[in-house]
Structure formats: structure tokens, C-alpha cells
Amino acid sequence: MENAAHGELLDHEVYRTPLTVQPEFEERKTPPNYRETYRGPGKLPDQIRVWRVQNTPRGNVVARSSGFTDSPDAEVLAVGFNFGKSYGDIGIGRHGNFLQWGYCDTPAQMTEAGRRLFLNCIHYIHRFDGRPPLVRRRSSDRSSAVSLARIINRVSGDQKEFFLQVFPAELYEKYHKDPEGLAAYYQANLELVYWDRVYRIDEELKALGLASNRKVETLERLFKLLEDPNHRETARKLIARYSAEHTSYDFGAGRNRIYFTDVGGYKFMVAPEGYLAGR
């Protein structure tokens, strides 16, 4: 990551409380890697509006943005301007009671805006005392299936072995020489991707007429199908696939606490009561 952050997200309270952060914006040439990873909307401009956090241009790190916000315990505080990773990857982010400041300089080398944001981060993370992460990284999010499909013929080493470590064996004959076809297949079925030793498309869910495996409506529908003798067994199997053990769901008053996380293991989970308050 470079020494700057994207000029967005500045409406977040961490830029206002307790100190006002007033970044000085500049335009920088859009990194080539952004072109490869940007998924819209529209096209990226030739220049990106950023603000400098610190002086040293190198030696900073980003966190992966894909799947970062698929659980309600995580949020992006600054998008890191970078030439090596993906558009949108995170320079400053929070996961539960942990805040990662991806910039490497000491305060003496930070800009005034950088120093103020750093102080605000100390105050901000203090609010999350007693609120640990709800999930831990168990897998990559579903967009990785598409990204990895595109490189099946570009990896070094045994490409068949790589394919079979990531995708089902039954897809090998059809797609092992067609990375774009494989990527298109996963992209077209993105809402039904799940991880079970490899990235799979949930054909059983699709056969039930359910279009997404990550919507609360889907889970609710599966529970209703338990009452239908024709679909009971499939529904039970799918509920087990997408539920953590011993989790009970309240589709009424507790509905807004139910979430689906790819990164946390392709499961529906429930935020504890009160966890989301004060965000």
C-alpha cells in the first residue's frame, strides 16, 4: 500500500470525533491493478482522489476487502491506495475490538490529518470494549471462486492439482482449458456458491427455486419447508449446511441480528442481543 487513503468514507464519525480530520486531497494516477479488480459501477477514472496519511510511500499493508463486511462486526475506516493488491482493499479497518492501522510511519512522519485520525482511532476502538469478533476467517468469500477460475491456466506447478483443490472434479473435463468459461459459470451462480472442501454451486437450493444461499428469506423458507413432507429431508440437509451447530433463529424480533458470512464459514449466524447497539 502507498502512503495515502482514498478520499471516501470521510462521513464516518472516526473522521470527526473527537478531532476534526481535514485531509488535503490530491489526484493520483489510477493504479493498473485497479482496472483488473474493479467490479463497477461504471468505469474507473484515470485519476483517483486520495489524501496522504503519512510521508513514507512504501511498507504499508492492506487487508482483503472481499468479504470484509459480510459480518456485522467489521467495518472499513479507510481504503488504502495501493499498486499491488485490489481496488477497495483496506488500509484501516475494524474487526470487533481490533483495529488495524495499516500505515507504517510513526506520528512524526504522519500528516496532521493522519495524526488526528490516529488519535480518533484510539478513541473509536475504545467504544468496542467487550465486543470481540463474531467470526474468524475460515474461508475466502465467494468472489474468490471467480478470481481463481480465471487463473487456472496461469498458476505455476501442477495445474490439475490446483484445479482440484479449488473446484469440483466433475467440472474438470469441461473447464480445465476454459478459465473464462469457468469464471462465467461461477459468476452466473454467485448467489449459490458455497465452500465444501472446494467451491460448489448449490444445485439443491436452486432446485427448490431459491435464488440465493445468503438471504435470510432463504433460511426462513427452508425452515418452513421442514413442514412439507416432499422437501423435508432436503430442507434439513440445507439447514445443516448453512447453520452453525446449536444456533436458533428468531425470524421476528431478532431478524436483524441474523447474517450470513462467507468468510466465517458460509453459515447463517446470529449477533448477540445488544452487540449491534451504538454502532
Catalog residues that contact other proteins under the rule CB under 8 A.
Answer: 17-20, 56, 58-64, 67-68, 71, 74, 85, 89-90, 93-108, 115, 119, 121-123, 125-133, 135-138, 263
CB of 98 to other proteins, least distance (A): 5
CB of 260 to other proteins, least distance (A): 15
> Given the complex with other proteins, which of 99 and 219 has the nearer CB atom?
99
CB of 212 to other proteins, least distance (A): 22
The 10 Å CB-count burial string (b at 16+, else e) for 205-220 is: beebebeebbebebbe
> Given the complex with other proteins, which of 83 and 251 has the nearer CB atom?
83
> Given the complex with other proteins, which of 182 and 269 has the nearer CB atom?
269
Burial class (CB in 10 A: 0-12, 13-18, 19+), 11: exposed
Grid cell digits, residue 272: 448477540
> Given the complex with other proteins, which of 63 and 148 has the nearer CB atom?
63
Grid cell digits, residue 218: 432463504
CB of 132 to other proteins, least distance (A): 4
CB of 79 to other proteins, least distance (A): 14
- 8 A C-beta contact, residue 254 and residue 264: no
> Given the complex with other proteins, which of 128 and 268 has the nearer CB atom?
128
> Given the complex with other proteins, which of 107 and 254 has the nearer CB atom?
107
CB of 155 to other proteins, least distance (A): 17
